[in-house]
Structure 1
Amino acid sequence: MIRYTLTCADGHQFESWFQSADAFDGLAMRGLLSCAQCGGGGVKKALMAPRVTTQDHAPAEPDVAPVPAQAQRARLSEPANKTEEMLRAMRDHLARNSTYVGGRFAAEAREMHLHETEARMIHGEAAPDEARALIEEGIPIMPLPFIPPDKTN
């Protein structure tokens, strides 16, 4: 495993772990990396100072990246910025007011659109081709900007 400090096109800096340098390169070439703060693309490795340890001298401090001043003031359970606060509010609203339907999302959305079942708020998963078909049929859907709480570990 390897940890990289990364930056997005908007200048946000964050860290992420990768299985190997090749794994990072492969994800980056396919455009599968996004910013942990804004979700934007253009993610690149930031300049990092190597951590070198000799047998005679152990590191004086743990191998941890510096924490931004804003994050030092906040507890880990508190949102670090306005974006995190808004995403948390959306996630909480979803948990309180929506039903998770898993892989049946496309079928459930279609049944509600055709008035075959009562309309209600749902969330779940759909393959890209299923989502495209729903949009082409005029069924209003949208991707979530986060992983639903019931799908995180």
Structure 2
Amino acid sequence: MIVFDLRCGDGHVFEAWFASGAAYDEQRTAKLLACPICGADDINKAVMAPAVPTKGNRQPSPAAMKQMIGALAAAQAKVLSGSEWVGSGFASRARAMHAGDEPHATIHGQATREEARALIDDGVPVAPLPLPVVPPKQVN
């Protein structure tokens, strides 16, 4: 895994994780990247400071890495607790709740960039999740 600082055309800087530098290039070319702040898809790598260890070339121990990954998973579980996974039906469910056609609930799921922009343009309160979300049926 590799982390890059990315910048959209509006100047918003955010970080994203990729399996490799090539994975970033593929996703950028396919226009799969979007700014989590404004939704813009003109994304480029931002200048970032190199990660320089304080002493030598120390790396976290495998136990420390496992602990960090566990902490990230726990943070994600906390953010999503009480939220219902609605998968690709997110945009229609969010719109129905906003219109009052369905009771309000906390939901999370998938939406295309176009669906997310349309929701925002229509005043439907949505926000991208800062952590990658694995659909419940795909969890190990």
What are the residue-to-residue correspondences of 1:1-153 with 2, within 5 Å?
A: 8=4, 16-17=19-20, 23=22, 26-27=25-26, 30=29, 41-42=45-46, 68-69=58-59, 71-72=60-61, 74-79=63-68, 85=71, 87-149=72-134, 150=136, 151=138
The answer (yes or no) to whether the contact 2:2–2:20 under 8 Å persists in 1 is no
Structure 2 stretches lacking a partner, 5+ long? 7-16, 34-43, 51-56
Tell me the percent identity: 29
Structure 1 residues not aligned, in runs of 5+: 34-39, 47-66
1:103 and 1:125 in contact (8 A); partners too? yes
Q: CA deviation at 1:41?
A: 3.5
Residues in 2 aligned to 1:25 and 1:92: alpha-carbon distance in whole angstroms: 26
TM-score when normalising by structure 1: 0.52
TM-fit CA distance, 1:79: 1.0
**Rg larger for:** 1
RMSD between superposed Cα atoms in Å:
4.2
Contact map agreement 1:6 1:43 (CA 8 A) in 2: no
